[in-house]
Structure 1
């Protein structure tokens, strides 16, 4: 049985189930054994504001690796790890944090049978050292964001990402606009655009409404995700004021400035993925109210597919990649466009276009795209096992 080692940012049971989780499950479903290692936990995470619950979950994963079918997931624990703070943001820390971990991540992977994996799959540059310490036959780097657009991005991380993009056997970009930026570093080597996908069965399963909805009347406008630098909280406040008969339900941790407070604006905080689905399935519209900036312009939003799989019409900020995706979503650039689109979406009875779009973009469809990209990689004359 072939073996794939995943180096990912998010821990396995994170409420943010992203592409790296889906790809690990896809490999397992297609006959691979998978070892999924997340970004490292440090003792300092327990003292970060609002992060104690996540730190506790990650600590549990360090103590007892999680086995889900053929996927074994583990969170490394280190005395220190890459961080934007002084000393922690150095290139040395980025490449050597594994030397400060206990037990050794390399030893843990080797003891699980992944000392020389068939594939090293990188979703996070913090795991680049796997390419030095192990002997993977192939390396795939998946780039899901324009990293320079993050306020916390460090020079060392951006420099390492450029090297990884240049040297990996195959690079997967989740957006066409992202691939355009990365292509200059690839110099003709294999680069594929494989967007995010969706777990249809999960989002289409019938579930009961959450208890909070008893006090939150329809029409419910739902957002699920982090309230972070890319989220336009001011826009949400203006929309809630302009549409007092609409209930705006925000599901996710608030990580930026204090949001607006209105009777029809409900900030409910983070929810486990299985619970978050209940809020989506019993809403009327899904929204993606992102601020328009360089980071967002290169995003393929996973939640677009998830909303549509659940049968919701979608209203979103208009940006370049989202336009290129040619989805049934209603796109808006101004407040009046948002208001009109939300009213129109609430009146829509036929959700067949949304469901059909989601079905055409399932994760199994993405697996088929990966097989085509892998054939291209194997046929590339420039193939060489990368070592960082």
Structure 2
């Protein structure tokens, strides 16, 4: 093993809310390897507090300051006057509080609006780790600066990497999101119900029309939708049930009693390059999967993954998925190769090549 490193994830999502993202899992696995890891997320600004934007748990986490979880990962949700992108964070002060020194070994940056030239000065190695496509606007501008300054670029999909136009001299890697196998790959079978489940945000990335088509095509099935966001304006079929947000800890129980996991992506541009963690969480839990096809997500019936091109075709995909024998063991085998522990080692090996 290499000597313990000081590592900071400069990320968009904190670990106090409903969602877990790749940086949370990578931070955990790198901490378990013996490194000192800080997970720093988008700050809660005075503007957010006045307008009451974002999850209440984020504001609560920001009041706690620096904390350390059971895996040894240090967490911080900063409190600022203005939103990210309008004024840089004081990384030297943050790193000094977390590590006792302003200089660190590695910074993984996946929140472009937190990028600043100070990070370049303080971190021996900077890796830009984009998880979404930003084609225009403030995030695209910050992203370009991060790409040009980074030592290495690690994208979660080939579509995201291609869109970045990384300089030829900058090494790059595609490292898709993975799955927390210990949480989801449980072979203790419970009775599977005729249920299709979606877990995630209900925003512009979600396609209600596709869900309607599937629910109409399979009227004897329950379609359980979990996640924060607004319901659609148009009525839903009676077999579609909205449950609201769900705790990350409660997700495995919901998946083990279902038969199909849903990824009804809209045609929003950001979906073109997404590498949804839910794909492997569904598969690891023994479900078949129905997904809109994108540059990243494609049909693979061998592993119980059925795609559709438009919402109108979603009904055909759900009919194919409901025929998969449960549990979907071929899908489970595919997910077993995508654990976060292996992803973290690959990420670290690629990062340390820049220092050799």
Q: Same fold (TM over 0.5)?
A: yes
Q: Which residue of 1 aligns with 2:78?
A: 76
* Aligned residues of 1:145 and 1:299 also touching (Cα < 8 A): yes
* Unaligned residue ranges in structure 1 (runs of 5+): 83-90, 99-103, 380-388
Scaled by the length of structure 1, the TM-score of the pair is: 0.82
Q: Does 1:160 align with 2:142?
A: yes
- Indicate the larger mover: 2-11 or 233-242: 233-242
Structure-to-structure mapping, 1:41-190, within 5 angstroms: 41-48=44-51, 51-62=54-65, 65-82=67-84, 93=86, 96-98=87-89, 106-113=92-99, 114-129=101-116, 131-132=118-119, 135-148=122-135, 155-182=137-164, 184-190=165-171
1:118 is paired with a residue whose SS is strand
1:253: how far off? 0.7
CA positional deviation for 1:29: 1.4
The 8 Å contact of residues 224 and 250 in structure 1, kept in 2 or not, is answered as yes
Q: How many pairs were matched up?
A: 350
Distance 1:78 1:334, change over 3 A: closer
Aligned counterpart, 1:313: 288
Comparing 266-275 and 106-115, the one that deviates more: 106-115
Given that 2:213 and 2:315 are in contact with CA atoms closer than 8 Å, whether structure 1 keeps it comes out as: no
**Counterpart among 304, 307, 328 of residue 331 in structure 1:** 307
Question: Taking structure 2 as the reference length, what is the TM-score of the superposition?
Answer: 0.88
Query: Of residues 227, 237, 262 in structure 2, which corresponds to 1:252?
Result: 227
Structure-to-structure mapping, 1:14-29, within 5 angstroms: 14-29=17-32
The more displaced of 47-56 and 123-132 is: 47-56
Alignment of 1:2-13 (within 5 A): 2-13=5-16
Give structure 2 stretches of 5+ with no counterpart.
none
Alignment of 1:362 onto 2:348: no
Judging changes above 3 Å, is the alpha-carbon distance between structure 1 residues 185 and 373 closer, same or farther for their aligned structure 2 residues? Answer: same
Aligned-partner Cα distance in 2 for 1:50–1:267? 22
Q: Could you tell me how far apart the structure 2 residues matched to 1:275 and 1:208 are?
A: 16
SS in 2 for 1:226: coil
1:241, distance to aligned residue in structure 2 (A) = 2.7
* Change in 2 beyond 3 A, CA 1:340/1:133: closer
User: How far did residue 224 of structure 1 move?
Assistant: 0.6
Once the two structures are overlaid, the 10-residue window that deviates more, 232-241 or 116-125, is 232-241
* 1:241 partnered with 2:216: yes
Q: CA deviation at 1:336?
A: 6.0
The separation in 2 between residues aligned to 1:147 and 1:116, in whole angstroms, is: 29
1:120–1:131 contact (8 Å) kept in structure 2? no
